[in-house]
Amino acid sequence: MSDLSFSNFCNWLKFRHLVLIDTLGRTRNMHAAAEQMNLSQPAISKMLKEIESLLGFAVFERLPRSMPPTALGDYVVRYAHIALNDARGFVEQIGSLREGGHGYLKVGGIFAATAVSLPGAIVAIKQRWPLLSIEVVEQTSDHLMEMLDARTLDLAVARYTDDRQQHRYDFTALGPEPFSIVVNSRHPLCESGPTPLAELGKWPWILYPVGVPIRARMDAAFARAGIATPKNTIDTISMQTFLQVLQSGPMIAMLPDSMVGPHIDSGLLKVLDTPLRLAPQDYGILTRKGEALVGSAQEFAQILIDNAQR
């Protein structure tokens, strides 16, 4: 197609085209795609040629053992994946509503959100809409934003990790996420009063992995304090692992107050009195830029905001 206008695109595009592009994008193999779509390989090949003819460029390379997307094909595969996720969500919502339910709500949250903000909001909206199906995904902010892009989430409760993200997502702050330096109640540092910075490097630490945004903030906190990032570490994003390992030995961890608060109140963990500080950063509701929430997603977001203001 020499002139790919929006009207032309709408006239020829079919969902089976998107399914083929998405399936080939995942399998990178014509035979595997044909099997998954329950079609013959010649039919798949013919459909792909039709798509590429209409687009005016090759979507996939033809290599001896695989069919990776071309540079332009990457964009097409991404569009197909997003469009199918959006359609899948629509079908789920309609199916639930037809059966007398209240639809589906898919929410993502960072660890602080799943511990504090989300539970109360989930209870509140379930009281209003008992048959609303809710799926909650716990992940880091970057992963949650990727899921927003792929339209596998309605909204996320997370934080910006890069200033450039402000151009891609709308953000409504819910509150700061303070961190504390904690040890178990049997740790020798609990007996010594204020903990000098030099003492912190003598003990093993549990930290978030390198590459996770919060780890970069932690490394910066160590640098501001004038001490090296600990070398003796266990790196994980699992809160269960953090808490279990912390209880089992003389470890130090830098964790959100929302996660360790109950364990501090019960006496299992102690907060170290140390000059090392991680500045709190606001977390809040992240949505796709310029795309207003509707239905249960909008109502859920308002509950989150109302709860935060209280």
State the distance between the two ends of the chain, measured CA to CA, in whole angstroms: 57
Q: What is the pLDDT along the chain (310 residues), one digit of tens a residue?
A: 446 788 888 888 889 999 999 999 999 999 999 999 999 999 999 999 999 988 889 999 999 889 999 999 999 999 999 889 888 888 887 887 776 667 889 999 988 788 788 999 999 999 999 889 899 999 889 999 999 998 999 999 999 888 789 899 999 999 888 889 999 999 999 887 889 898 998 999 999 898 887 888 899 999 999 999 998 999 988 888 888 899 888 999 988 888 888 889 999 999 999 999 888 888 999 999 988 998 899 999 999 999 998 8
Q: Are residues 184 and 255 in the same domain?
A: yes
User: What is the residue range of 30's domain?
Assistant: 6-81
Q: What is the rounded distance in angstroms from the CA atom of residue 222 to the CA atom of residue 224?
A: 6
Q: What is the rounded distance in angstroms from the CA atom of residue 28 to the CA atom of residue 24?
A: 5
Q: Are residues 251 and 287 in the same domain?
A: no
What single letter denotes the amino acid at residue 155? L
Least Cα distance to 180 among 249, 274, 265, 251 occurs for 274
CB 197 within 8 A of CB 223: no
245-258 pLDDT, tens digit per residue, is 998 889 999 888 88
Q: Are residues 191 and 135 in the same domain?
A: no
- Convert 187-226 to b/e letters by CB count within 10 Å (16 or more is b): bebbeeeebeeebbeebebbbbeeebbbbebbeebbeeee
Tokens representing 244? 């279990």
Q: How far from 289 is each of 76, 85, 165, 172, 286, CA to CA, in Å?
A: 21, 18, 10, 12, 9
Q: Looking at the domain assignment, is residue 271 inside a domain?
A: yes
pLDDT value, residue 1: 44
Q: Are residues 184 and 43 in the same domain?
A: no
Q: Are residues 114 and 205 in the same domain?
A: no
Tokens representing 155? 């909204």
Beta bridge partners of 108: 137, 156
Q: Looking at the domain assignment, is residue 128 inside a domain?
A: yes
Tokens representing 297? 């997603």
Q: Looking at the domain assignment, is residue 269 inside a domain?
A: yes
Least Cα distance to 263 among 239, 283, 233, 284 occurs for 239
CATH number of the domain that residue 259 is part of? 3.40.190.290
CB 53 within 8 A of CB 36: no
Last residue of a domain, one of 81, 111, 132: 81
CATH number of the domain that residue 136 is part of? 3.40.190.10
Q: What is the rounded distance in angstroms from the CA atom of residue 199 to the CA atom of residue 183?
A: 13
pTM of the model: 0.68
Q: Are residues 109 and 161 in the same domain?
A: yes
Tokens 């266990």: give the residue: 234
Q: Are residues 271 and 289 in the same domain?
A: no
Q: Count structural domains, the chain.
A: 3
pLDDT value, residue 5: 80
Q: What is the rounded distance in angstroms from the CA atom of residue 99 to the CA atom of residue 96?
A: 5
Q: What is the rounded distance in angstroms from the CA atom of residue 102 to the CA atom of residue 296?
A: 8
Q: Looking at the domain assignment, is residue 94 inside a domain?
A: no
CB 254 within 8 A of CB 217: no
Q: Looking at the domain assignment, is residue 133 inside a domain?
A: yes
Beta bridge partners of 107: 136, 155
Beta bridge partners of 136: 107
Q: Looking at the domain assignment, is residue 90 inside a domain?
A: no
Q: Are residues 254 and 122 in the same domain?
A: no
Q: Looking at the domain assignment, is residue 165 inside a domain?
A: yes
